Amino acid sequence: MRRELHAEWTKFRTAPGTGRLLLAVVALTAALGAAAAATVSCRTAGCDYDVPKLSLMGVQAGQAVVVILAVLAISGEYGTGMIRTTLAAMPRRASVLAAKAVVLTGVTLAAGTLAVLGSVLAGRLILPGNGFTPGNGFAPLSLADGPTLRAAAGSVLYLALVALLSLGVAVAVRDSATSIGVVFGLLYVLSVLPVMVSDPGWQVLLWRISPMNAGLAVQATTHLSVLPLSPWAGLGVLAAWAGAALLGGGLLLRLRDA
Protein backbone atom coordinates (compact mmCIF):
# COMPACT_ATOMS: atom_id res chain seq x y z
CA MET A 1 0.00 0.00 0.00
CA ARG A 2 2.94 2.33 0.65
CA ARG A 3 3.96 2.18 -3.01
CA GLU A 4 0.44 2.99 -4.18
CA LEU A 5 0.16 5.90 -1.75
CA HIS A 6 3.47 7.37 -2.89
CA ALA A 7 2.49 7.03 -6.54
CA GLU A 8 -0.94 8.58 -6.06
CA TRP A 9 0.42 11.45 -3.99
CA THR A 10 3.03 12.16 -6.64
CA LYS A 11 0.41 12.18 -9.39
CA PHE A 12 -1.97 14.30 -7.37
CA ARG A 13 0.47 17.03 -6.38
CA THR A 14 2.02 17.25 -9.86
CA ALA A 15 -1.28 17.32 -11.76
CA PRO A 16 -1.91 20.70 -13.43
CA GLY A 17 -4.49 22.81 -11.65
CA THR A 18 -4.52 20.90 -8.36
CA GLY A 19 -3.11 23.81 -6.37
CA ARG A 20 -5.52 26.29 -7.93
CA LEU A 21 -8.50 24.06 -7.20
CA LEU A 22 -7.50 23.63 -3.55
CA LEU A 23 -7.02 27.38 -3.23
CA ALA A 24 -10.44 27.89 -4.84
CA VAL A 25 -12.06 25.59 -2.25
CA VAL A 26 -10.66 27.72 0.57
CA ALA A 27 -11.29 31.10 -1.04
CA LEU A 28 -14.79 30.40 -2.35
CA THR A 29 -16.03 28.80 0.86
CA ALA A 30 -14.69 31.57 3.11
CA ALA A 31 -15.71 34.39 0.75
CA LEU A 32 -19.31 33.22 0.39
CA GLY A 33 -19.53 32.57 4.11
CA ALA A 34 -18.39 36.14 4.72
CA ALA A 35 -20.89 37.41 2.14
CA ALA A 36 -23.72 35.53 3.85
CA ALA A 37 -22.72 37.01 7.21
CA ALA A 38 -22.62 40.50 5.71
CA THR A 39 -26.14 40.31 4.25
CA VAL A 40 -28.06 39.68 7.47
CA SER A 41 -28.69 41.91 10.43
CA CYS A 42 -30.17 41.67 13.91
CA ARG A 43 -30.99 45.05 15.38
CA THR A 44 -33.22 43.86 18.22
CA ALA A 45 -33.21 41.00 20.68
CA GLY A 46 -34.97 37.81 19.65
CA CYS A 47 -33.59 37.37 16.13
CA ASP A 48 -33.98 33.73 15.15
CA TYR A 49 -30.76 32.96 13.25
CA ASP A 50 -28.54 29.90 13.40
CA VAL A 51 -25.32 31.92 13.43
CA PRO A 52 -22.75 29.11 12.96
CA LYS A 53 -24.74 27.66 10.07
CA LEU A 54 -25.06 31.11 8.54
CA SER A 55 -21.29 31.61 8.59
CA LEU A 56 -20.73 28.19 7.04
CA MET A 57 -23.08 28.67 4.08
CA GLY A 58 -20.09 28.95 1.75
CA VAL A 59 -19.63 25.18 2.09
CA GLN A 60 -22.56 24.74 -0.29
CA ALA A 61 -20.56 26.47 -3.02
CA GLY A 62 -17.10 25.24 -2.06
CA GLN A 63 -18.27 21.64 -2.44
CA ALA A 64 -18.65 22.22 -6.19
CA VAL A 65 -14.89 22.75 -6.48
CA VAL A 66 -14.28 19.68 -4.32
CA VAL A 67 -16.39 17.66 -6.77
CA ILE A 68 -14.29 18.85 -9.71
CA LEU A 69 -11.05 18.15 -7.84
CA ALA A 70 -12.12 14.63 -6.91
CA VAL A 71 -13.42 13.73 -10.35
CA LEU A 72 -10.25 14.89 -12.06
CA ALA A 73 -8.19 12.77 -9.66
CA ILE A 74 -9.26 9.67 -11.62
CA SER A 75 -11.08 10.67 -14.78
CA GLY A 76 -8.03 12.58 -16.02
CA GLU A 77 -6.15 9.28 -16.14
CA TYR A 78 -8.92 7.71 -18.19
CA GLY A 79 -8.91 10.66 -20.56
CA THR A 80 -5.17 10.43 -21.24
CA GLY A 81 -4.91 6.65 -21.11
CA MET A 82 -2.54 6.84 -18.12
CA ILE A 83 -4.83 4.52 -16.20
CA ARG A 84 -3.41 1.61 -18.21
CA THR A 85 0.09 2.49 -17.07
CA THR A 86 -1.08 2.88 -13.49
CA LEU A 87 -2.78 -0.51 -13.39
CA ALA A 88 0.11 -2.20 -15.19
CA ALA A 89 2.55 -0.88 -12.60
CA MET A 90 0.19 -1.51 -9.68
CA PRO A 91 -2.14 -4.38 -10.62
CA ARG A 92 -3.94 -4.48 -7.26
CA ARG A 93 -6.82 -2.29 -8.33
CA ALA A 94 -8.49 -2.11 -4.93
CA SER A 95 -5.24 -0.80 -3.46
CA VAL A 96 -4.97 1.82 -6.20
CA LEU A 97 -8.49 3.07 -5.49
CA ALA A 98 -7.87 3.00 -1.74
CA ALA A 99 -4.67 5.02 -2.19
CA LYS A 100 -6.50 7.58 -4.30
CA ALA A 101 -9.21 7.82 -1.66
CA VAL A 102 -6.67 8.32 1.16
CA VAL A 103 -4.75 11.03 -0.70
CA LEU A 104 -7.94 12.79 -1.77
CA THR A 105 -9.37 12.64 1.74
CA GLY A 106 -6.19 14.05 3.23
CA VAL A 107 -5.94 17.07 0.95
CA THR A 108 -9.68 17.75 1.18
CA LEU A 109 -9.56 17.68 4.96
CA ALA A 110 -6.64 20.12 4.90
CA ALA A 111 -8.31 22.51 2.46
CA GLY A 112 -11.68 22.12 4.18
CA THR A 113 -10.18 22.95 7.56
CA LEU A 114 -8.67 26.17 6.24
CA ALA A 115 -11.95 27.04 4.48
CA VAL A 116 -14.07 26.45 7.57
CA LEU A 117 -11.68 28.32 9.87
CA GLY A 118 -11.78 31.24 7.44
CA SER A 119 -15.58 31.15 7.43
CA VAL A 120 -15.82 31.09 11.22
CA LEU A 121 -13.29 33.91 11.53
CA ALA A 122 -15.18 35.99 8.97
CA GLY A 123 -18.42 35.44 10.86
CA ARG A 124 -16.81 36.36 14.15
CA LEU A 125 -15.52 39.63 12.69
CA ILE A 126 -18.54 40.62 10.59
CA LEU A 127 -21.62 39.55 12.53
CA PRO A 128 -21.20 41.77 15.63
CA GLY A 129 -21.29 44.83 13.37
CA ASN A 130 -24.68 43.65 12.07
CA GLY A 131 -26.24 43.44 15.49
CA PHE A 132 -25.31 39.88 16.48
CA THR A 133 -24.08 40.95 19.89
CA PRO A 134 -24.39 39.59 23.42
CA GLY A 135 -26.97 42.28 24.06
CA ASN A 136 -29.19 40.73 21.37
CA GLY A 137 -28.56 37.22 22.62
CA PHE A 138 -25.64 36.18 20.42
CA ALA A 139 -22.22 35.31 21.79
CA PRO A 140 -19.24 35.82 19.45
CA LEU A 141 -18.59 32.81 17.22
CA SER A 142 -16.05 30.55 18.90
CA LEU A 143 -14.88 26.99 18.40
CA ALA A 144 -14.83 26.71 22.18
CA ASP A 145 -18.62 26.49 21.93
CA GLY A 146 -19.65 22.84 21.55
CA PRO A 147 -22.37 23.21 18.90
CA THR A 148 -20.22 25.59 16.86
CA LEU A 149 -17.28 23.19 17.01
CA ARG A 150 -19.53 20.34 15.89
CA ALA A 151 -20.87 22.42 13.00
CA ALA A 152 -17.35 23.40 11.92
CA ALA A 153 -15.80 19.95 12.25
CA GLY A 154 -18.84 18.39 10.60
CA SER A 155 -18.51 20.76 7.67
CA VAL A 156 -14.92 19.64 7.12
CA LEU A 157 -16.02 16.00 7.22
CA TYR A 158 -18.88 16.86 4.87
CA LEU A 159 -16.44 18.15 2.24
CA ALA A 160 -14.28 15.03 2.59
CA LEU A 161 -17.31 12.76 2.11
CA VAL A 162 -18.39 14.76 -0.95
CA ALA A 163 -14.90 14.17 -2.36
CA LEU A 164 -15.19 10.40 -1.79
CA LEU A 165 -18.68 10.32 -3.32
CA SER A 166 -17.31 12.13 -6.37
CA LEU A 167 -14.35 9.76 -6.64
CA GLY A 168 -16.61 6.72 -6.57
CA VAL A 169 -18.89 8.14 -9.25
CA ALA A 170 -15.91 9.11 -11.43
CA VAL A 171 -14.42 5.59 -11.20
CA ALA A 172 -17.73 4.14 -12.33
CA VAL A 173 -18.51 6.68 -15.08
CA ARG A 174 -14.93 7.46 -16.26
CA ASP A 175 -15.85 10.61 -18.18
CA SER A 176 -15.08 13.91 -16.41
CA ALA A 177 -18.03 15.99 -17.60
CA THR A 178 -20.57 13.22 -17.07
CA SER A 179 -19.22 12.40 -13.62
CA ILE A 180 -19.38 16.03 -12.51
CA GLY A 181 -22.93 16.29 -13.86
CA VAL A 182 -24.01 13.15 -12.00
CA VAL A 183 -22.57 14.33 -8.68
CA PHE A 184 -24.01 17.83 -9.09
CA GLY A 185 -27.38 16.21 -9.72
CA LEU A 186 -27.10 14.09 -6.58
CA LEU A 187 -26.13 17.10 -4.50
CA TYR A 188 -28.08 20.02 -5.87
CA VAL A 189 -31.04 18.52 -7.75
CA LEU A 190 -31.97 16.04 -5.02
CA SER A 191 -31.75 18.85 -2.46
CA VAL A 192 -34.61 20.79 -4.07
CA LEU A 193 -36.93 17.82 -4.66
CA PRO A 194 -38.53 18.04 -1.18
CA VAL A 195 -39.91 21.52 -1.94
CA MET A 196 -41.35 20.33 -5.25
CA VAL A 197 -43.75 17.82 -3.73
CA SER A 198 -46.78 18.61 -1.58
CA ASP A 199 -47.07 15.41 0.43
CA PRO A 200 -45.41 15.91 3.86
CA GLY A 201 -44.38 12.27 4.10
CA TRP A 202 -42.58 12.40 0.77
CA GLN A 203 -41.00 15.72 1.70
CA VAL A 204 -39.44 14.20 4.80
CA LEU A 205 -38.32 11.05 2.97
CA LEU A 206 -36.72 12.98 0.10
CA TRP A 207 -34.98 15.28 2.58
CA ARG A 208 -33.60 12.33 4.51
CA ILE A 209 -32.14 10.60 1.44
CA SER A 210 -30.73 13.76 -0.11
CA PRO A 211 -26.95 13.65 0.43
CA MET A 212 -26.68 17.44 0.59
CA ASN A 213 -29.70 18.17 2.80
CA ALA A 214 -28.94 15.32 5.17
CA GLY A 215 -25.19 15.94 5.24
CA LEU A 216 -25.49 19.65 5.94
CA ALA A 217 -27.73 18.94 8.93
CA VAL A 218 -24.45 18.67 10.82
CA GLN A 219 -24.21 22.48 10.61
CA ALA A 220 -27.43 23.07 12.51
CA THR A 221 -27.09 24.34 16.08
CA THR A 222 -30.68 25.49 16.77
CA HIS A 223 -34.13 23.91 16.43
CA LEU A 224 -32.60 20.44 16.23
CA SER A 225 -35.87 18.82 17.29
CA VAL A 226 -37.61 19.82 14.06
CA LEU A 227 -34.92 18.40 11.75
CA PRO A 228 -35.89 15.21 9.89
CA LEU A 229 -32.54 13.77 10.99
CA SER A 230 -30.13 14.59 13.80
CA PRO A 231 -26.87 16.30 12.73
CA TRP A 232 -24.62 13.24 12.93
CA ALA A 233 -27.27 10.92 11.51
CA GLY A 234 -27.57 13.28 8.53
CA LEU A 235 -23.82 13.14 7.98
CA GLY A 236 -24.15 9.36 8.18
CA VAL A 237 -26.52 9.45 5.20
CA LEU A 238 -23.87 11.21 3.14
CA ALA A 239 -21.29 8.69 4.35
CA ALA A 240 -23.57 5.90 3.12
CA TRP A 241 -23.80 7.56 -0.30
CA ALA A 242 -20.02 7.91 -0.44
CA GLY A 243 -19.49 4.30 0.65
CA ALA A 244 -21.96 3.00 -1.93
CA ALA A 245 -20.31 5.04 -4.69
CA LEU A 246 -16.84 3.80 -3.78
CA LEU A 247 -18.04 0.21 -3.52
CA GLY A 248 -19.78 0.37 -6.90
CA GLY A 249 -16.86 2.14 -8.52
CA GLY A 250 -14.40 -0.34 -7.02
CA LEU A 251 -16.36 -3.33 -8.31
CA LEU A 252 -16.50 -1.86 -11.81
CA LEU A 253 -12.78 -1.08 -11.66
CA ARG A 254 -12.06 -4.73 -10.91
CA LEU A 255 -14.43 -6.12 -13.54
CA ARG A 256 -13.78 -3.83 -16.51
CA ASP A 257 -10.77 -3.42 -18.71
CA ALA A 258 -8.80 -0.22 -18.25
* Separation between Cα atoms, residue 59 and residue 117, nearest integer Å: 12
pLDDT of 158 reads 98
pLDDT at site 15: 81
Give Cα separations from 188 to 149, 183, 192, 212, 257 (angstroms).
25, 8, 7, 7, 32
72-86, 103-117, 200-214: which has the minimum mean pLDDT? Answer: 72-86
Instruction: Return mean pLDDT, the chain.
Output: 90
pTM: predicted TM-score of the whole model, two decimal places: 0.94
What was the pLDDT predicted at 258? 60
Put residue 120 in one of left, alpha, beta given phi > 0 → left and psi -120 to 50 → alpha.
alpha
Q: Does the pLDDT at position 45 exceed 90? A: no
Distance, in Å, from the CA atom of 162 to the CA atom of 245, rounded to the nearest integer, reads 11
The answer to whether residue 100 scores a pLDDT higher than 80 is yes
Residue-level pLDDT at 89: 67
Q: Where are the domains of the chain?
A: 2-255
pLDDT per residue as tens digits for the range 148-164: 999 999 999 999 999 99
Residue 132, CA distances (Å) to 41, 62, 93, 140, 222 in order = 7, 25, 52, 8, 15
Give the pLDDT score at 203.
93
What's the mean pLDDT in 76-86?
71
Percent of the chain with pLDDT strictly greater than 70: 96
The DSSP symbol for 130 reads G
Percent of the chain with pLDDT over 90: 67
Compare 213 and 89 and report the one with higher pLDDT: 213
Query: So what's the pLDDT on residue 81?
Result: 66
**With bands split at pLDDT 50, 70 and 90, how would you rate the model's confidence at 254?**
confident
